[in-house]
Amino acid sequence: MDDKTRSNETAKSEALDAHTENPDGSHLTTNHGVKVSHTDDSLKAGPRGPTLMEDFHFREKMTHFDHERIPERVVHARGSGAHGYFQPYESMEQFTRAGFLSDPSKKTPVFVRFSTVVGFRGSADTVRDVRGFATKFYTDEGIFDLVGNNMPVFFIQDGIKFPDLVHAIKPEPDNEMPQASAAHDTFWDFISLMPESAHMIMWVLSDRALPRSYRMMDGFGVHTFRWINAEGKARFIKWHWRSTLGNAALVWDETQKTAGKDPDFNRRDLWENIEMGNYPEYELCVQMIEEDQEHDFDFDILDPTKIWPESEVPLKKVGKMVLNRNPQNFFSETEQVAFHPGHVVPGIDFTNDPLLQGRLFSYIDTQLNRFGGANFNEVPINRPLADVHNNQRDGFMRQTINRGKVSYFPNSLGGGCPMTAGADAGGFEHYMEKVDGRKVRDRSEKFRDFFSQANMFWHSLADHEQDRLVSAAHFELGKVMTMEVRERMVYEFFNRIDHDLAVRVAKGIAVEPPEKDESTKSRYRAPEVSVEHESRKDTVATRKVAILADQGYDHKRLEKVKEKLMEGGASAEVVSMFLGTLKSTDGKEMEADKSHVTSASVMYDAVLVAGGKEAVRAMKSQGDAVGFVNETFRHAKTVGAIDHGVELVEEGEAKGAKYASADSDGVVADKGLVTVGQGGDIDEFADEFVKALARYRHWDRDPERKMVPA
């Protein structure tokens, strides 16, 4: 690593570390540096007397506490952040003059904030929702913010509808219910009258709305942007982040239970994996369209409710982002980070996408409200690494001490500085797009094709993905009390997307089946929208296995399987009736990481039942242990059992898959249930278990999908 790269990588962390908290031997002080002798009793007129006004320490401490909160974000209030770097694979110079995309040896520091959209700051992570995926690049040419989501399209086509959308989806104003959920009347009332949301609704009802982990989730810039090279040639682009672990989703029943067992599930997963060195990685990709091809497509390329199918416009890999450092202070970094799609650097520019145009106004405005003033750019997490020189002055909480008397331009007293920079000197020059039109409140004709990409989405899913989408619609609309809204959703919305879909949705929500409608048929198929077809990955890396064990477990055979798991980069936790040390049949010991009351199957990707006659006898009498295996099985995840451990599986309802009996000498792997009898080869078992774990979900376990609560 050369000095420049190193200094860039560390510069941001050094800037954030500038304040050392409470070094060894430090004394408690007031905010103004006076040492404090006592902080347990307020100053009183006698031990039983009233507190005195002159107790400046008490009043300062309490006043600061009273002002600890800033307004939470109106949307995306709940978030989790991480630091890292971005590095391009090769120079993109040919397409964009952005410096951070031009030098493959250069690492640019980044800060990413993942979020849910609807819930309040303290809401659960695993709700059905879009996820925010916002990245701040601290480039040498200034801040570039890529403020995207984990879905490539949006609900509305024009920013002016955003306040309506958010009012409709947020808790209802009379009783502030429900929290972090779209499943209520006002949201579906609005949607049933907004056909342009059809494509996005399909994404929201799909598995993409229930990510297993922020590490296993793609990101999208959604809008069409421009890249402009040094010659001034522009191209249309769309941004994509592709998780190198592939996409993985929870099932609905799991998300509900997880919201209670561990509301911080996604936040914890991100934090713990970064601490363990499992650094999340995402490849930055773009799709590119030449300017003269702008009108060559069935859809308008400026429409944010449409994707550019990859069969038409392939992805180009640009580089990789690695998140390798947790924040040190949630408030100072994750809460105070302020994104804005208008933070761009030379080489990147906007288009006339009317949703993007709306955002370009909203973000600074919202930061003014959150920070109570215009100096939020001076907060450490928001400060660029590039130098800042301008004549902006003063305002609430100004940090910079601007010296000298010249704060205007043009000037001669300051030698004409700071002076403007043309493109040759690295200045940002807006792309000179020709604009010529009448002032109208209107949209282009192709924007009015609301249903064909929703139809494409539906037909690009695997059948089990379609099943879960229908179940999701049953839940969401089943919570809608107003019959006319449910009917409108079936007749005017789903039926226009696909008749079969509408019939299936109608069945679950007491709506009469709709008349046949074949008005929509997309000629596109986009396998990339399906997690099953394109974006999942068979890997055990970072998957988390629960080992069920008890006193008298079999150590040796369990260790062999654990070794194989670790080799593949998985992790394991021992779950038992009680916390404490477990003793094996051959005198070995192992600590129980979790007890049944502090854990649940939904926190793991698979379960492995250890062998050992005594241990299994104990576990068979524990409802929690039997329930653990059953639930893992019902959620279509991998279940493994060693020797007598098979009896625990037999005890439960893990039926429909074949298994080896406890005293056999075989290994049986069937539909994600992997078992080995006492005489069976443990290495073979370990290989099969790892293979099944890599597959993650086993939908073939239940072809009629009666058992898996989707």
Q: Which residues are catalytic?
A: 76, 149
Output the CA–CA distances (angstroms, integers) from residue 694 to 39, 362, 538, 602, 690, in the order listed: 55, 43, 5, 17, 6
Number of C-beta neighbours around residue 3 at 10 A: 7
Which residue lies nearer to ligand HDE by CB, 154 or 696? 154
Output the CA–CA distances (angstroms, integers) from residue 684 to 186, 525, 558, 674, in the order listed: 55, 40, 13, 10
User: In this structure, what token pair is assigned to residue 378?
Assistant: 């001076």
Which residue lies nearer to ligand HDE by CB, 154 or 633? 154
Task: Give which of 206, 188, 205 is closest to 487, Cα–Cα.
Answer: 188
| Type of residue found at 625 | A
Task: Give which of 673, 564, 561, 627 is closest to 661, Cα–Cα.
Answer: 673
Scan for tokens 């799909």, then name that residue: 206
Whole-angstrom Cα Rg for the chain? 28
Burial 368-379 (b: 16+ CB within 10 A, else e): eebbeebbbbbb
Task: Give which of 54, 79, 221, 206 is closest to 137, Cα–Cα.
Answer: 221
CB 164 within 8 A of CB 311: no
From the CB of 411, what's the least distance to ligand HDE, in Å? 34
Burial 65-97 (b: 16+ CB within 10 A, else e): eeeeeeeebebbbbbbbbbbbbbbeeebbebbb
Q: Which residues in this chain contact ligand HDE in the complex, by CB under 6 A? A: 73-76, 79, 113, 115, 132, 134, 147-149, 154, 159, 162, 222, 337, 339, 355, 358-359, 362-363, 366
> Could you tell me which residues come within 8 angstroms of residue 567 by beta carbon, excluding any fewer than 6 positions away?
none
Which residue lies nearer to ligand HDE by CB, 148 or 640? 148
From the CB of 139, what's the least distance to ligand HDE, in Å? 19
Which residue lies nearer to ligand HDE by CB, 113 or 562? 113
Q: Is the peptide bond before 410 cis (omega within 30 degrees of 0)?
A: yes
Orientation angle between helical segments 452-459 and 198-205, nearest 10 degrees: 30
Q: DSSP string spanning 60-103?
A: HHHHHHHT---PPPSSS-SEEEEEEEEEESS--TTT---GGGT-
Sign of the torsion formed by the C-alpha atoms of 420, 424, 429 and 435 = positive
Q: What gap in Å lies between CA 280 and CA 110, rounded to an integer?
A: 13
Q: What gap in Å lies between CA 283 and CA 539, rounded to an integer?
A: 17
Using CB positions, name the residue nearest to ligand HDE.
132
From the CB of 220, what's the least distance to ligand HDE, in Å? 7
Task: Give which of 247, 164, 203, 263 is closest to 473, Cα–Cα.
Answer: 203
User: In this structure, what token pair is assigned to residue 107?
Assistant: 């690492």
Q: Is the peptide bond before 178 cis (omega within 30 degrees of 0)?
A: yes
